[in-house]
Structure 1
Amino acid sequence: MLTKLMKHVSALEKKVLELHEELEENNRASANLLRLGVVVKAEANTVDIQTGDNLVKRIPFFVLAAGRVSHYRRPSVNEQCLLMNLGSGDNLNNAVALMGLPSTHFQSPTVKENEVMTDYGNGMSELYNLDDGSLICRYPGGMKIYGDTWQDGDYQATGEVTDHTRSMQADREIYNEHEHPGILPGPAKTKPTEQQQ
């Protein structure tokens, strides 16, 4: 009877050790499921991420859209991310990087609840105010539109307005100084227009 009891205890001990080992493996896997990381290298569609002592190379990163509508932004070196391990265990090579976590290195461009802002760097930004519906765009390098434009409302410019021929100011100068030869008999010309453009 004692021998039978010892065999049973030995079998239970073996099972407990197996369960302990399985629990340890599950703990390691869950610890690597989600991790914070920092971009150390960015390529066209992959990044190298430093997470703790681990360097994970050439893993894909999330973009805003990648279907019929697509969007691309290459992550920045030192940008913080969330590393999601799609595999199991300690191997992070099956992970993907979810970008866009603000950090002390790359802070949020605004923290006001009524503002949506994209800061592209180098002075270029777009700021939309949710309360009054205004949009302020700063494009220090200019903006080109390929296509027809239509506007319902006033248009104001602090600089020149120019078409394919000349500026509006050049047209004003021509109009304001133009003469009408040949209208009056003889060599006389009419005076410049009284109404300025």
Structure 2
Amino acid sequence: MAKVEYGAEGQHQVTGWLPWKPSRTGKTVTWSCPNVGEGVTVISEGDLGLGEILLGSYYDQFPAPSTNPDVHLTQYADNAMAQYNQANHAYQLVLPGNGTVNIVAKGGITITGDVTVNGNIKATQEIADHKRNMSADRAIYNSHMDSHHNSAEPKQ
């Protein structure tokens, strides 16, 4: 529920509490509460007390974040941003400061394509490639060391 301020400069009025219309409310449901100052439209058959708020109208204080028709963009107050460009086939997620991403997928995650990591990788379990895991590599490495740190031929 929200109240809407409306009217010409110097003649502002405020509605009572009105329900706002979310974008989805069925098996798929969304939640995005309206912000103070956000442009809205009140849909009413004449009695504003029975109206509903339709969210989202761009204006000077809250302009459109893009003019590109190929972009689907969600921008947040803390400068976080999620954007998909259908022309470039590129998805971008930007989080401010020390923002984090937590993905829970008990069935696993599959990435098809090259992966670039600009930072450290930490794992609480084994890391493996098509041949063996890191523990097995460590055991091979340790077995090659003698008292003078000379290495024997690796056993692949």
> TM-score category by the smaller chain?
0.7 to 0.9
Specify the alignment match of 2:4 in structure 1. 49
How far apart in 2 are the matches of 1:118 and 1:193? 57
Specify the alignment match of 2:26 in structure 1. 67
Report the CA distance shift for 1:137/1:194 in structure 2 as closer, same or farther (over 3 A). farther
Report the CA distance shift for 1:93/1:194 in structure 2 as closer, same or farther (over 3 A). farther
More relative contact order, 1 or 2 (CA 8 Å, 6+ apart): 1
Report the CA distance shift for 1:192/1:142 in structure 2 as closer, same or farther (over 3 A). farther
1:48, 1:55 within 8 Å by CA — same for their partners in 2?
Answer: yes
1:180, 1:189 within 8 Å by CA — same for their partners in 2?
Answer: no
In terms of fraction of residues, the more strand-rich structure is 1
Of 135, 138, 150, the match for 2:91:
135
Q: Deviations over 1:158-197 (max 9, x none)?
A: 0111111599xxx7xx95xx4327x8xxx746625789xx
Of 47, 50, 68, the match for 1:112:
68
Specify the alignment match of 1:179 in structure 2. 142
Residue correspondences, number: 139
In terms of fraction of residues, the more helix-rich structure is 1
Of 61, 70, 80, the match for 2:39:
80
Q: What's the CA shift for 1:129?
A: 1.2
Specify the alignment match of 2:57 in structure 1. 101
Percent identity for Structure 1 against Structure 2:
16
The code of the aligned residue for 1:114 comes to D
1:179, 1:192 within 8 Å by CA — same for their partners in 2?
Answer: no
Residue 144 of structure 1 aligns to a residue whose secondary structure is coil
1:59, 1:95 within 8 Å by CA — same for their partners in 2?
Answer: yes
Query: Which of the two has higher C-alpha Rg?
Result: 1
Report the CA distance shift for 1:111/1:179 in structure 2 as closer, same or farther (over 3 A). same
1:164 aligns with 2:124: yes
Q: TM-score, normalised by structure 2?
A: 0.75
Specify the alignment match of 1:144 in structure 2. 102
Q: What's the CA shift for 1:54?
A: 2.5
Q: TM-score, normalised by structure 1?
A: 0.61
Q: Deviations over 1:1-24 (max 9, x none)?
A: xxxxxxxxxxxxxxxxxxxxxxxx
Report the CA distance shift for 1:162/1:93 in structure 2 as closer, same or farther (over 3 A). same
CA RMSD of aligned residues (A): 3.0
Residue 121 of structure 2 aligns to a residue whose secondary structure is coil
User: Mind listing any 5+ residue stretches in structure 2 that lack a counterpart?
Assistant: 128-133
How far apart in 2 are the matches of 1:104 and 1:54? 20
User: Mind listing any 5+ residue stretches in structure 1 that lack a counterpart?
Assistant: 1-45
